[in-house]
A and B are shown apart, each in its own frame.
Chain A
Amino acid sequence: MSILARALAACLLGGLLGVAQAAERPEEIVIGITAFLSGPASVFGEPGQAAAEMIIDNINAQGGIDGVPVRAIYVDEGAGGEHVVSEYRRLVQQEGVSAMLASISSGNCNQIAPVAEDLKMLNIMWDCGTQRIFEEGDYRYVFRTQANATPEMVATVLYLLKTKPDFQTIAVVNQDYAWGRESWKIFSTALKALKPDVQVVAELFPKFGAPDYSTEISRLSALRPDVVLSTSWGGDLDTFVRQSAQRGLTGMSTFVLPLAESSLQRLGKDLPEGVIVGGRGDHYFLHPEFRDDPAFQAFSAEFREKTGAYPIYPVFHMAQALAALQKAYEIALENSEAWPDTEALVDAMEGIEFRGLTRPVRLREDHQGLEDQLLGTTVHSDTHDFAVLDNIMIFPADPITTPVGQISEEWVETLDPAMLEMEVDTYQHGQ
C-alpha cells in the first residue's frame, strides 16, 4: 500500500536471514575489506581491491582455505566515516563475516578499532599507518600486518640526512587529517632530534582531497625551502607533484615523498629526478632482493596483466594481510580439529610471522607489525617511461620502531644522532 509498508516488509525478510550464525565448518569464508573505491584515494583502493580479488582467486583455485572457498565483500571508504562504520557493523552483524581487513584511511582505522573490539571481530589494519591505536589502548581483536608512521618517518629522516646532510630549511604540505598531522609530528620531532639546527619555514595542511594547490605552491616558490616534505598519497599526491612540476617548484627544492612509490607509474615523466621516495615498507616492483624471485615475478606479471599497472605498496600490504590471515587459519587448524572461530583465529594471530611478497613480517605482542623500510632517489631510465629508484636503502624495522609500551612522539625525541651511522643494505639501480 504505502512505500513505508513495503519497505518494512523487505527489511523483516532481510533480518531473518542474518539470525542463523555459522556454527561449524561454513560452506564459505566471508571477509570484509574496506578501501577507497571513489574519490582521489581510489587510486589506492582500486589496486588494493584488484590484488585481493587476484589473491583470493588463487587461494580458491587451490581449493580455498582447508577446502573452504573465500569470498570478499568491499566497503567504499570514499562514502565517508559514518558510512564505513555503519557498513562495517552491517557486515559483521548481517553478513556473518569471519574477518575484516579495515581500512586505508587512518581516520577510519581510528574509528573502526574500538568498534571491532566491541563486536569481537578479528580486524586486520591492512594499510593505515596511524601509530596511536596501539599506543593509546591494548586490543585483543585488532592487528596491523604492516608498519606504522614511526618507522616510516624515522627511516625517511635517516635517508634524507644520509643523502643530503647539510640542508637548512624545510616546508611541509600534508593532508589535513589524522595521517597528515601525526606523520608530520613524528617526522619533525625525529628531524629536530637528529639535526636540531633545521628551520621549518612553512606548515601547510590543505584539505584531504583538495583539487588545487596553486596558492600553496606560490607560497613555497617564494620561500624556496631546501626540502619540501609531503606524506600525502594517491590522487592528492599526484595533483600536488604535477602542479609543482608545472611551475618548476620541484627544480628549486628537494622533494621528500615517503609514500610516492605508489605514484611512480601514474606520474610518469612529471616526477623529476632527485626526488626521495619511500614505499611504507620494503615495497617496490623492482625490489633488489626479490626482483629475480619467481613467485614475485609471477605475481607482478599477473597483476600487470589484470590491471595494466605494476604492483604498488597498497598491493603489497593487501598481500601481507591476506598472507597473515591464511597463516592464522593454518596455525588454528593445526591446534584443533574444530573449525577455527574468531577466538581461535585471534589466538593464532598472536606473535605470528608471515611473508607476503617481500621480506617477512613479525607481529609484536602489541599486535604491531615489524616491517623493514625501503627508500630511494628517483632517476629516469630508458627501460621504463616513468621514474625508477636508485641509491636504494633498506632500513631494518627493529631499531626504528617505537618499543612496545612507549609513545612514539616521546620516543622519537630521544633519538641519538649517532643513529645516522647505522649500517644499511644499499643498492644502485643497475645491480
Chain B
Amino acid sequence: MTPQLLWLATLDGVAYAALVFLVAVGLTLIFGVLRVLNVAHGSFYAIGAYTAASLGIAISSGGLPGWLSYPALILAAVLIGTLLGSLIERQLLARIYGKEEVLQLLVTFAVFMILEDVQRLVWGVQPYFQDTPLRLLGTMEVAGVFYTRYQLLVLPATALVVLVGLRLFLRHTLQGRVILAVTQDREAAMAMGIDAHRVYLTTFVLGASFAALGGALASPTTALVPGIGSDMIVLSFAVVATAGLGQVEGAALAALLMGLGRSFAVYMYPEFEVLMPYLIMVVVLLIRPQGLFGVAETRRI
C-alpha cells in the first residue's frame, strides 16, 4: 500500500462518502423529528437523479448553454423534495403518527414499492446518461491519476456546505431550533405550543430534498438504472444506524467511515468492498447499540 495508493483511496473514499452523506443526513433528520425510518428515502434519491438527468438532457437537446445544468441539479432536488415530500407527509404520514412504529415503517416501505414502479413507468428501464456537469469541469491530475474535478471537488464541497449550512440552520435560526427541540423531546416541545405538523412537514421536505440533491449530484457520475434507489437506501440505513439515529454531524463521520472503508477495500481486498459498510455497522451496533453518537434512552418507572 504505497503512499500514492493510500492518497488515492482516501480521495475516492471522500468522494463516495459525500454522496452517501447527502442521502443519510436527510434520513437521520427525518427520523430525529418524526421517529420514522423513511424506507422510501432511496426513491427520492433515484427520482432526484432521474429528474436531474431529464432536465440536463432537455437543456443539451434544447441547445441551451451547458452551465445551466448545474442549477438544474438544484432545481431537480428542490422540485422533487417539495413535491414528493409534502405529498407523502401530508397525505400519508400525517394520518399514521399515532399508529405503531411498525405500521409507520411499512407505510414508507409501501411508498418505496410504489415509487419503484412509478420510476419505471415515467423513465422506462433504459440506462440514462447525462454527464454534462461532469464533463464541463474536466479532469485534474492528482498523484499521477486523473480525477474529474466534479467528483473530487464539487461533491465533497456540496456535502460540506450542506453539513455546515444545516448546523447553522439548526442552531441559529428559529425554525431550526424548533426542529431541534422536537428532536430532543417531542412532548415537551408540543407542550410549549410548537405546531408539530408544520415542523414535521418542513423536516420531511428538507430531508427529502437532501436525498433528491444526493441523487441529482450522483446522476452525472453514474448510469441511472432501476434499483439504484434500493442499493442506496440500505447503505444510508447503515450510515444512520452507525452514527446514531437523529445525529446530523454523526452521519457525516459515519459516511466518511463507510466511504473510506469501501474504497480501501477495493485497493486491498476487492472481494470485501460490498461487505465493508455492513461489517462496520454490525461491529458498531454491537458495541454501542445507540450508534457512535446516539444517546441511550432509559425507561423510568
Contact = CB atoms under 8 A, between A and B. Distances in A.
B223 A40 contact: yes
A40 B151 CA distance: 22
Given A219-B5, A221-B144, A222-B143, A211 B131 contact: no
B126 A46 contact: yes
Secondary structure type dominating chain A contacts: helix
A242 interface: yes
Nearest to A42: B125
Contacts of A42: 125-127
B223 A249 contact: no
A219 B267 CA distance: 7
A150 B16 CA distance: 37
- Place the interface of chain A in its size category: 20 to 34
B284 to A, nearest CB: 23
Contacts of B147: 218, 247
A138 interface: no
A215 B12 contact: yes
Contacts of B134: 246
Contacts of B15: 214
A239 B222 contact: yes
B148 interface: yes
Contact of A207 (B16, B125, B274): B274
Contacts, number: 96
A37 interface: yes
A39 B227 contact: yes
Contacts of A209: 225, 227
B290 interface: no
Given A218-B145, A235-B225, 17 more contacts: A38-B226, A40-B223, A78-B125, A204-B266, A205-B271, A209-B227, A212-B218, A212-B221, A212-B222, A215-B263, A215-B266, A218-B8, A218-B12, A222-B4, A235-B223, A238-B129, A246-B131
Interface of B: 4-5, 8-9, 11-12, 15-16, 120, 125-127, 129, 131, 134-135, 139, 143-148, 151, 218, 221-228, 262-263, 266-267, 270-271, 273-274
Q: What 5 pairs across the A-B complex have the smallest Cβ distances?
A: A211-B222, A38-B125, A221-B145, A235-B127, A248-B146
25 contacts: A43-B126, A43-B127, A46-B126, A78-B125, A78-B226, A206-B273, A207-B274, A211-B225, A212-B221, A214-B12, A214-B15, A214-B16, A215-B9, A215-B266, A218-B9, A218-B11, A218-B12, A219-B8, A219-B267, A238-B129, A239-B127, A246-B148, A247-B139, A247-B146, A248-B139
